[in-house]
Every structure is written in structure tokens, then in C-alpha cells.
């Protein structure tokens, strides 16, 4: 008699949780099972997140200035906004850092046109962080400033398929020399809602937040945590802010491809530090 062990993994999403979310009154967002996660197991989904990172000891900067009531780089500089896909690797930290760096070089006309820079180089070469496993956002900002990254054309993204950080490359994919591009600095501007708004006038902002079960049912609207346990941490890019029907929100770009959320973006309630979104955020300087 043979006993066959099942290797089937349970899907993360279930209809009982979905129905519970749909019955919560006064919801500002639409719960459903996102196409991006259809049939995905809990293990696979959590692999896209990182453990809750330790907070850095970098002194926060309180930015003071004038900021309009609403603002969105999707409208102000759409040519600079590109949604990426991190795949099956917890590399959100690199995608948010490098993505904001790329945004801000485009927004501030450092590059003549939008250039995608290499998340893979950071994932493979930043020895202070841990590839697809975990990272600290301030350390990836330090890597951008001290080491820099090449273009994505030079070192393309592979970890989303392999699930591994891979070796730090010494040449471009085509064996030509690597040219590195650096930031000129960074500031943690998460001292207040107003400070973040002022910072956004200069460029997009990398931010981290706590992920609860219900976030993985988000398909549109203004997300605010309603129910469920913590399943990890995630890093994203704040690109703007606004208000709808009396609910203030941040406009945020994710790294789950364009067929997730609102064409790759989502909105999160603003001014209440929902899911710790206003705890740690970095404005990357470029010249």
C-alpha cells in the first residue's frame, strides 16, 4: 500500500472572506479576487512581500512649503510614470527605490526621456539587504547614493522568474561595461501629511506599509484596512494625493503589473497613517 503525500497548496483567496468584505458597511474600496493573484497560493503571495523592516536611525526632515489641495504625477508627468512587475520575488524595496529614482530623474529633466534603471542590480549587489527575502528602505537609498545602478537595458530583471537574488554582475547582459548612475541624497520626509505633500512637489516618494489580508482583495477605490491579520510588509511609490467624496487619499504606484488595482496603482486613505503608510518615506534627490 502506497501513501501519496499531496503537494497541492491552498489558494490564498477564499469566497468566505470575500463575502465578509463585501458586507462591511461604508466601504470606500472594492473587494474582489484580483486577476493578478488568481489561483495563487498563500506561500507564493507572501513571497512577494518582505518581513516588517527595522526602522532606520536616519533623522527625519520636516518639509515646509506650499502644496496644492490635490496633485498627481500621473497627470503632471505621465511620460515619467511606468508600472513594473516584481514577479515572484520580495523585491518591492528595490522596485520602489529604483522606480522613484527613475521617476525623479525624468521629472527633473536629468534624463531627456524616461529611462528604466536596474532593480536587478540592486537586488543582486546590495549586500546590506537580502535580495528576494527582506530589506531596509534606508539602506537601499544609501546604495543608490553611494554605489548607484545601471540601466535596465544593461542589467535586466530576472529575479521575478527565478525567485533568487542571483550573483552581482560585473558587466551588462551583453558583456559591455556597466555604467552606474547615483542619486545625490535622500530624506525621510514622513514627519507629517503636509511634509509628504510638500515633498511630492519635487518628485515621487518611496514608502513602506504593513500589509493585512484584506489588501490582497483590493481591486479599486480608496483602500483602508478593515479586517484580517498582518501578512507582511510592502514598499511602493507615492505619486500624488487627492480627495473623493470627503475621503482624503494618497495616489500610489505598486509593482504588481498594470492588471492589478487601478491599472497598477491604488489609492490609500490619507492623514490617518493607515497601515503605517505615513511612518517611513523617502524623497530621492537627483541632479
- Which of 43, 29, 10, 50 lies closest to 227, judged by CA? 29
Per-residue pLDDT reduced to its tens digit, 13-31: 999 999 999 999 999 999 9
pTM value is 0.95
**Beta-bridge mates of residue 249:** 242, 269
CB 252 within 8 A of CB 267: yes
* CA-wise closest residue to 82 among 65, 69, 64, 101: 101
89 φ, ψ (degrees, to nearest 5) = -150, 135
pLDDT tens digits for range 84-143: 999 999 999 999 999 999 999 999 999 999 999 999 999 999 999 999 998 999 999 999
Phi, then psi, of 86 in degrees rounded to 5:
-75, -15
- Judging by DSSP bridges, how do beta strands 265-269 and 247-253 pair with one another? antiparallel
Decide: 255 and 178 in contact? Cβ < 8 Å: no
pLDDT-derived band at 1 (thresholds 50, 70, 90) equals very low
Distance of CA 115 to the CA centre of its chain: 18
Q: Which of 237, 219, 221, 222 is nearest to 83 (CA)?
A: 237
pLDDT over threshold 60, residue 83: yes
* pLDDT score at 56: 65
Q: Which residue, among 79, 70, 142, 91, has the nearest Cα to 256 in the 3D structure?
A: 91
**Residue 121 Cα to chain centre, angstroms:** 17
Residues known to be catalytic: 92, 234, 254
How far is residue 70 CA from its own chain's centroid?
Answer: 21
Count other Cβ atoms within 10 Å, centred on residue 109: 10
Give dist(CA 136, CA 142) in Å, integer: 10
Predicted confidence band of residue 167 (pLDDT cuts 50, 70, 90): very high
Task: Round the average pLDDT of the chain to a whole number and report it.
Answer: 95
| pLDDT at res. 8 | 55
Contact 95, 235 (CB under 8 A): yes
CB 272 within 8 A of CB 187: no
Query: Cα–chain-centroid distance for residue 185?
Result: 19
Amino acid at each position: 500500500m502506497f501513501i501519496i503525500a499531496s503537494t497541492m497548496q491552498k489558494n490564498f483567496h477564499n469566497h468566505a472572506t470575500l463575502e465578509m468584505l463585501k458586507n462591511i458597511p461604508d466601504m470606500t474600496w472594492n473587494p474582489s479576487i484580483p486577476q493578478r493573484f488568481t489561483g495563487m497560493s498563500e506561500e507564493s503571495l507572501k513571497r512577494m512581500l518582505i518581513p516588517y523592516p527595522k526602522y532606520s536611525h536616519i533623522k527625519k526632515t520636516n518639509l515646509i512649503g506650499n502644496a496644492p489641495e490635490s496633485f498627481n504625477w500621473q497627470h503632471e508627468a505621465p511620460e515619467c510614470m511606468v508600472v513594473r512587475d516584481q514577479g515572484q520575488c520580495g523585491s518591492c524595496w528595490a522596485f520602489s527605490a529604483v522606480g522613484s529614482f527613475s521617476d525623479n530623474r525624468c521629472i527633473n529633466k536629468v534624463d531627456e526621456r524616461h529611462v528604466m534603471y536596474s532593480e536587478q542590480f540592486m537586488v543582486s549587489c546590495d549586500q546590506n539587504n537580502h535580495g528576494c527575502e527582506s530589506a531596509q528602505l534606508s539602506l537601499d537609498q544609501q546604495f543608490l547614493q553611494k554605489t548607484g545602478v545601471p540601466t535596465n537595458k544593461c542589467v535586466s530583471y530576472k529575479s521575478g522568474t527565478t525567485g533568487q537574488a542571483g550573483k552581482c554582475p560585473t558587466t551588462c547582459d551583453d558583456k559591455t561595461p556597466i555604467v552606474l548612475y547615483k542619486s545625490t541624497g535622500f530624506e525621510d520626509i514622513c514627519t507629517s501629511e503636509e511634509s509628504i505633500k510638500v515633498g511630492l512637489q519635487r518628485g515621487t516618494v518611496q514608502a513602506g506599509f504593513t500589509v493585512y489580508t484584506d489588501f490582497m482583495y483590493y481591486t479599486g477605490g480608496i483602500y483602508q484596512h478593515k479586517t484580517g491579520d498582518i501578512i507582511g510588509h510592502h514598499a511602493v511609490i507615492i505619486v500624488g494625493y487627492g480627495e473623493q467624496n470627503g475621503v482624503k487619499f494618497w495616489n500610489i504606484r505598486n509593482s504588481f503589473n498594470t492588471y492589478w488595482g487601478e491599472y497598477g496603482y491604488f489609492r490609500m486613505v490619507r492623514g490617518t497613517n493607515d497601515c503605517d503608510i505615513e511612518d517611513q518615506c523617502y524623497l530621492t534627490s537627483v541632479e
